[in-house]
Amino acid sequence: MAINFLFGKNKTINITIKDYAIRFVELKHTQFLEVQRMGEYYLPAGLITEGKILDFDTLATILEQCVSDLK
């Protein structure tokens, strides 16, 4: 699953959630797209299996922590 967030005209954040990791990239819009930050957070085994979320509460907590850490 890929999610795209637009923050005004100058910034885009893309998030991809896989069975084993959450990946993100923050892009700055200039004349060309410029990567500001990117990262990856590994998920505990069994949290998502074959694209199905098995523990919504834990995933929500992890996403909240990621947002808090990355601001």
pLDDT, tens digit (0-9, with 9 covering 90-100), for 39-63: 999 999 999 999 899 999 999 999 8
Counts of helices then strands in the chain (DSSP H, E)? 1, 6
CA–CA gap between residue 18 and residue 23 (Å, rounded): 8
pTM: 0.73
Domain total of the chain: 1
User: For 3-17, what is the mean pLDDT?
Assistant: 74
Domain boundaries, position 16: 2-70
